[in-house]
Structure 1
Amino acid sequence: MRNSLDMMWRERAFMVVLLLLVRKIHGGCPSSSCGKIANINYPFRLKGDPEECGEERYELDCENNVTVLYLYSAKYHVQAINYKNYTVRVVDPALQHHNLSSLPLRFLSRSNFSDTYKYTSFYDSDPYQAFVNVDKNWEYLSFEHIVFVNCNHSLGEKGKYVEIGEWVKWEGKGYAYAIGGDLKAEDLEVGCEVKLVAPTSLSTFDNHSYTSMHTALAYGFEISWIQQACQKHCPDDDDSYCYLDSSNQKLKCRYGILLYISVILVYISILWAYKVLFGLPFLIIIFIYKWRKRHTSMYENIENYLQQNSLAPIRYSYKEIKNMAGGFKEKLGEGGFGYVFKAKLRSGPYVAIKMLSKSKGNGQDFISEVATIGRIHHQNVVRLIGFCASGSKRVLVYEFMPNGSLDKFIFSKERNIHLSYEKIYNISIGVARGIAYLHHGCEMQILHFDIKPHNILLDENFIPKVSDFGLAKLYPIDNSIVTMTAARGTIGYMAPELFYNNIGRISHKADVYSFGMLLMEMASKRKNLNPHADHLSQLYFPLWVYDHIREEEDIDMEDLSEEEKIIVKKMIIVSLWCIQLKPSDRPSMNRVVEMLEGDIEDLEMPPKPILFPDEMMVTDDQTINSS
């Protein structure tokens, strides 16, 4: 009996040791499986797996025996995981193989990924990339695009446009088309609007067959986690360079200029003074050569990545820019960014060339403009036609606005520069629609951060266009809170939350505030701040006008008809809502458009604007006290 008990305990002990040994061999994390995806390993893990098994940002879910990946808060079904080339293939769950009417739920392009623009650090926080760095060159593209457009007229057999109206209808009107591959701005037909961009990694589809395109979409698209693997494999510094060696499917590190310098310094220290005489100049030459090569490569990478962006504008050489501008003879204006010149395309139309002479932060303002409006097509957003990134020269080419900027019409005292209030009112609605589109109509939320009269351009028909996106930022559409390290914008139009952190978080409501200040100036045709006012209560126009509207007193402006007085009053009430101190008290831009287009009887009077979080009282001929 004792012998049998001893044997049983020995067998159990052996099994425990064996299990521990197997667990240790496999790193303590057995492979997980869900549906057709077997052997889910590091860096991935399934929801519910131990925390040490994989990384949190690569956590997958298993829903109804289907492996699910969440990308930018949207759900995608995992089709395959390739641990050799660091890619995972996913597909939009709305796509059905044999249902040509099924379309992806989300607008997704390469521009959603941080590695689309080379100015972001290679060791960025974005868990997935759209490119895989193969053999020291960014030559492996994880996916390409299929673009869906809606046109207000039939195009017939027009190049890459494949009519799909038999299966797809946009809002029940117009003509629906699909385009295989990237669509550049100059290829978008007049009267057509991009409705959806979807990725695919099945590159063998037929560009002239929608059935083939849909099959490619249903196949899915690959994204890469090579950046995470590189962080583990190569030192986390700016001087190391990680790439995938295609010959053996292994990651490799390449080191840059700092390694060369350190080797040379060691060499010099060994050879002592004699070698210093010859080594130091050599060191300087090597340093200059590497520095110039590195920065030249940086400029080229910016240019290359901009070309690869979906709906990218035209790339021009600097020589072409110079010829178009006729030697930069006709200057349209200047600012802190540089100069704007009038130019002419070879095809005939005039354009405005913006020379960025003071590009910030390794050209981030240049990248910001191209990244935001390079793929936007809206009546009230200025169109970016092209760009030039040649060495240190950065140039943006815009559609030409014959009537210039709005400020000269609302602030000028000259009689020949005059707009009727009906025209000003229509311009205000157009600007509001443009900003609303940036906030709510794109696949990424675009915050402008510099809405002001100087950045509203007017075409030959006085249709307004929001311009100058040098301070703009892109955020996921469902991200209501913005993280910023420094205030941005123009004094007088900047939202108070950019200065005070105790009134609310920074969000799209910062643009609403700026639009409110702009709208007030459009309604009054004067600056909001008037240092020459007779009374301190008139120093800040919004406070003065609030009291007059509340008491239903006439506003001393210019001779207005009754209809114009209603227009002005409506604009002022809407602007007073927009410039409320707390962001939560301001309407969204979609609501602003509704308020401007609606009846004045439907508008309630907002609370009186407050200038500062701890403001005391501002009355006639009293001093202004604030914290």
Structure 2
Amino acid sequence: MMGVCSLELRGISYFFILFLVFVVSLGEGQNGCHELIRCGGRGQNYTIRFPFRLDTQPDDCGYPIPGFTLSSTHTNDTVLQLPNFVKFFVENIDYKSQVIEVYDPDNCFPRQLRDLNLSSSPFLFKHQPYQYDYAFFNCSSKETQAVDAIFCLSGPSHEVRAFYSDSDINDLPIASCKKMYTLPSISNDQLFGYDNILRLKWDSPKCGHCERKGKGCRLKSNSNESETECFSKHSKGVLLKLKITGIVFSSFLSILAIFALYRIYSYDKAEKENQAKIKTFLEDYKNFKPTRFSYSDIKRITNQFVEKLGEGAYGTVFKGKLSNEVHVAVKMIMNTSKENGEEFINEVGTMGRIHHVNVVRLVGFCADGFRRALVYEFLPNYSLEKFISSVDTKNRFFGWDKLQDIAIGIAKGIDYLHQGCDQQILHFDIKPHNVLLDENFNPKISDFGLAKLCSKDQSAVSMTTARGTLGYIAPEVFSRNFGNVSYKSDIYSFGILLLEVVGGRKNVDITAENTSQVYFPEWIYNFLEQKEDLRVFIEDDEDAEIAKKLAIIGLWCIQWHPVDRPSMKVIIQMLEGGHKLTMPPNPFASTSPTRPKLDQKLDVILEQE
């Protein structure tokens, strides 16, 4: 069977190559010149022919003045070289209208057009509606999301803004700005990057009338000047080639049809199963692999950033949708510092390999110039923090059975990070704010900007700076006096989260004026020792047992020394009722090792790899 398939493929390849040879020779003009088919940036095909030529073709294939010679990049894009070393990529050539469409690969016409002077080239700007003269100003103090900002010219410490050049300068908000230059006749869409097409027209040579008649255009023979003439594209030789090409093409289609019928006939059960496996793999890969979006994609997904979900220290989160059924949350990262850049790379690299029901899925990301964004699955019930630290807690209370389910889900997500991947993933920022809830209030761990990858058999992790959120950071992250940094550091943070769930309050109250208030975990421990209710919402003994269980497990998790904390697998067994729970040692007794105070600054002891 394989031998027959090989012979069929060889036959098809032979006729297909022969067909291509005839098609290429069909377009030959004078002096062996032929049309070249190219593909524009948006997938549109166009041809290169007189008066243009590619720099690999003979000189007499194009019009003999500078400007009509094109070149190719290593990616097979066609480049138009204009005066002052301005280069654009060719999108399309309309020979009838004598217009060439070009685009800037960096989508920044305001930068390119500044240096462009067409007086020494054969091209002129093609007039378009809604073109204006703009003056550009460099503003040292940035205004967030200024509508007149030119993003491709702006930077982290300055912002370039554009205004109509005939505007009264006294009416412009440019007190801290300095004028840079003026650009004539540029459209709004080109200015702000919505239309990345520039149309240039040439008047000479005049070949448009030849094209409209269905004829070709070429240099006139035996003429000392650069005169052109029309010529018929078809000749007897060409007609013969057309007939031969038709025969070859018909033969090719016939053999292709025979081969297709043979393949359908010989399709057995094993090959069908193989195709099904491949299809399943591709679907899974498409669903799990993060997609890279452009900035224009992000604007379309968020409908121009209409619906804001929230705002934090590192950016703003907007609601968007990929389709009518698929909604997403788009986090625009506004800060462009080196540290946040590393966190962005870290989060994309880490979450791209994570696929678990209790870990939020990274749908895609955007890294378009200095614009960066993360696109997550949308979770309609926001974060766990809103339900355990709200002033209106009674109206938001889940019930103890659901709180226990949420705790188990978070624990399984952390256990997956520690043991379920090829490498161990330490989150370092487990807290209620980073636990999101889906439509059924199932928890999903999010925000992997501080995560660290290490091998599963690595007992200690090297760190040069403490990472995490105050109140949730394990003692060993501050100081090696408490032990090595490891996966047990996430367990400490999880323990604080459990105690917050039980107590219905935050571990750290930065606004509290009474600095001598009882340390929050110690407050929980005292309640358990005194056998008092932990929360006013406990209605029966079963709920009281769940609250007590969560509190005891949380206290086991926050033991000062990592070796005294249980593993996440043991914690899951505790939560699911597989262990008999006993009270842990009291870490708050006066005889216990000194614990770090909330307002104490500890020196970080550097660890070696």
TM-score (norm 1): 0.48
Larger radius of gyration: 2
TM-score (norm 2): 0.50
